[in-house]
Amino acid sequence: MKKPLIVIGGPTACGKTDVGVLLAEKINGEIISADSMQIYRHMDIGTATPTKQEMRNIPHYLINELEPDEEYNVMIFQKKAKEYMQKIWDSGKIPILVGGTGFYINALVYDTLFEETEQDNTFRNQLYQIAEKNGAETLYETLKKIDPNYAQTLHANNVKRVVRALEYHHFTGQLFSDYNAEQKTKQSPYHTAMIVLTMERQKLYDRIEKRIDAMIAQGLLEEVDTLLKKGYSPALVSMQGIGYKELIPYFYHKISLEQAIYDLKKNTRHFAKRQLTWFRGQTNGFWVEVKSPEQTVQKIIHYLKEIKIGV
């Protein structure tokens, strides 16, 4: 009998944290973060890591576990998430995977097998060095030649995902677009409920705008400044995350603060749009338009009853 797994995905700023916590309270669940950035310590504001107050005593895993210069990739995520899932099941509870990093979600839900050589970070680091020296467009042009179908789904400035696709091809000899297509046909080893939160586009963009204003007010600039003063390189994967890469040029006096914040808002909107595109193309989930956390969770619980998970 397959063990239960609930996934709550969707674009940034759509309310996944609130919905995940409220659902966990209702069905005796615990939360595993499927966010590639919230794993890092000292980066709470820019990654929108849930606060203790927001967690409301619900255990959260894969949050604040690594330093910004420690290695984190889909293989490490998958291994750690499986261990936490087993711990949650053993305690008689249900794991709820919450986040917007689709590649990580698929890797766990479909138990993707990765080449052992993917643990070698040398090639990845070389790619980031190329991007830093010659610009993101250089890597993107390489991806367009290797895998034009996948390149069409990305913006050239999304260095992390471009690198991920190039790295996947380097180690497996396969195209990332083919990998994504293959995931659609695979069966999960778990009894999985894939919930995708969505929101009217302009409402989502308004929430992004307000969230970033709140981040600045909460001390995002100080957070980035502290990371740089601690010696964390702008070339680190962690520092390439949205919320950091846009502000770093300001501290090197390359752009104004106004331009940095404008870039952050623009890139976050584009990121949310790409996330929605990814979920539409990659998942056959239960889509819920978020009006309020309470109403959303009511709809999710009704769906979970239909497919006989947890309630």
Predicted local confidence at residue 184, as pLDDT:
65
User: 60 near 33, Cβ under 8 Å?
Assistant: yes
Residue bearing tokens 């420690």: 70
- Give the separation between CA 218 and CA 175, rounded to whole angstroms: 41
- Give the separation between CA 171 and CA 124, rounded to whole angstroms: 11
Residue bearing tokens 């790619």: 127
Angle at 52 between CA 46 and CA 55, to 5 degrees: 95
- Give the separation between CA 237 and CA 234, rounded to whole angstroms: 8
User: 279 near 99, Cβ under 8 Å?
Assistant: no
Strand extents, DSSP E, the chain = 4-9, 29-33, 60-61, 94-98, 191-198, 286-289
Predicted local confidence at residue 117, as pLDDT:
46
- Read off the pTM: 0.85
pLDDT tens for each residue of the chain, 311 residues long:
899 999 999 999 999 999 999 999 999 999 999 999 999 999 999 999 999 999 999 999 999 999 999 999 889 999 999 999 999 999 999 999 999 998 899 899 998 876 554 556 788 888 988 988 898 899 999 999 999 999 988 878 788 889 989 988 888 888 988 877 776 677 889 999 999 999 999 999 999 999 999 999 999 999 999 999 999 999 999 999 999 999 999 999 999 999 999 999 999 999 999 899 889 887 678 999 999 999 999 999 999 999 999 77
Predicted local confidence at residue 123, as pLDDT:
86
Q: What share of the chain is helix, strand, coil (3-state, %, to 5)?
A: 55, 10, 35
